[in-house]
Amino acid sequence: MIWIAIRMLTGDRTKFYGLLFGIAFSTLLITQQLTIFVNLIERGASGVYNVAEAEVWVMDPVSRTTDIAYAMPTTALDRVRGVPGVEWAVPHLRANAAVRTDTGDLEQVAIIGVDDATLIGLPKGMVEGSRAVLSRPDSVIIDDVGTTRMFPDQPTPVGEVLELNDQRAVIRGMADSIPSFTSTVVLYTRYSQALRYVPGTRNRLSFVLAGAADGVAAAELARRIEAQTGLRARTRDEFAGDGVDFIIENTGIPFNFGITVVLGFIVGVAIVGLTFSLFIRDNIRQFGALKAIGVTNGKIVRMVAAQAGMVGAVGYALGLLGTVAFIWVFGSDPTFKGFYIPWQIPLMSLVAVALILAITGFFALRNVLRTEPAAVFR
């Protein structure tokens, strides 16, 4: 009977495509919006992810994320280096600056000062040039967001001269980094150079990045640093989580994306429910005839379940493909750079689709089961 059920479903092409559209659209909306949401809030941790080497981030106790940091005196670096279990510790500066291009455009940028000697703090991958270019005077490395925004019509920004807080900066490379939550243009330079670009306050050390000695866990090291220095120390994962939590707690993004996801679910229920009930209504005499002939209610339930299952499987696959296509098409845009679909999201969409089909299938099935076989003689 399953074969007949599937033929009944696919034979009515208009409704079949309508059902597929409903499920696919719902899946697309839910999966795509959740994907964007997750990737967007993970951008709150991009500053941490871009520094692969740092196992522990040390900061002033009031600092919260890579972008919200209260500068420490330079002595903090030595205090961290003095903690047992610290293999290495380097300074890390993050600040904002205004930059003027040679065409006169003004752009707010983030300056990241990385350790002069080891270049820890600089993303590992480079799109153009090498990390070593920072050893040259006035060198900065720009990220690809900056390249797209500040030099949209140029094949490469390398060689461009910028006026950075009234000082000369020469772009000598392009870093392969994860954009920040606000997609701010980022310029990487040596820590000593960054101090010149960002003059002003007495304390300018934003973070101390530390690595653990062999046999010392990052969490244990962070605990030791906090105990000995009075500074705040977070492991890489903890600090990444802090960045994500900050966005969740301080923006309307979860609420707004949540509304869209709920709308996707409601649209799915509406389209699929309406189309499914029309399909059942159009076939009610056939179902009645089947019941009269001797098809049990159990078999009818399995028939409707098979129809719902097929619509769900194909529609879900189409919706998921749509999301993958979306990520693939827009992947070249720096705004969506590095976007991926966490495995939990397709699972959540699957549950949503199953719920949509369970709700709509239940009402459709109720009509079929209520149909008296004797009705076929009327």
Based on CB atoms, which residue is closest to other proteins, 13 or 202?
A: 13
Please say whether the beta carbons of 311 and 20 come within 8 A.
yes
Q: How many CB atoms lie within 10 A of CB 158?
A: 19
**How many residues touch other proteins (CB under 8 A)?**
29
Regarding 136 and contact with other proteins (CB under 8 A), the answer is no
Kindly tell me which residue out of 152, 155, 215, 294 binds other proteins, with binding defined by CB under 8 A: 294
Regarding 7 and contact with other proteins (CB under 8 A), the answer is yes
What's the min distance (Å) between Cβ of 310 and other proteins? 13
Based on CB atoms, which residue is closest to other proteins, 274 or 292?
A: 292
- Element (H or E) spanning 75, and its range? helix 75-81
User: How far from chain centre, in Å, is Cα 212?
Assistant: 29
Q: Which span (1-9, 23-31, 105-113, 143-151) binds other proteins, by CB under 8 A? A: 1-9
Regarding 18 and contact with other proteins (CB under 8 A), the answer is no
AA identity, residue 334: P
| Cα–Cα separations (whole angstroms), residue 159 to 111, 133, 332 | 18, 11, 23
Kindly tell me which residue out of 252, 293, 332, 370 binds other proteins, with binding defined by CB under 8 A: 293
What number of CA atoms fall less than 13 Å from residue 177's CA on the CB side? Answer: 33
Q: Which span (112-120, 149-157, 172-180, 290-298) binds other proteins, by CB under 8 A? A: 290-298
d(CA 285, CA 287): 5
Q: Which span (2-10, 22-30, 40-48, 306-314) binds other proteins, by CB under 8 A? A: 2-10
Q: What is the largest CA-CA distance in the chain?
A: 94
d(CA 300, CA 313): 20
Using DSSP's 3-state secondary structure scheme, residue 298 falls into helix
Based on CB atoms, which residue is closest to other proteins, 10 or 101?
A: 10
Contact map string, positions 210 to 239, toward other proteins, x by CB under 8 A: ------------------------------
Regarding 370 and contact with other proteins (CB under 8 A), the answer is no
Report residue 207 as tokens.
Answer: 């973070």
- Which residues bind to other proteins, rule: CB under 8 A? 1, 3-4, 7-8, 10-12, 283, 285-286, 288-299, 372-374, 376-378
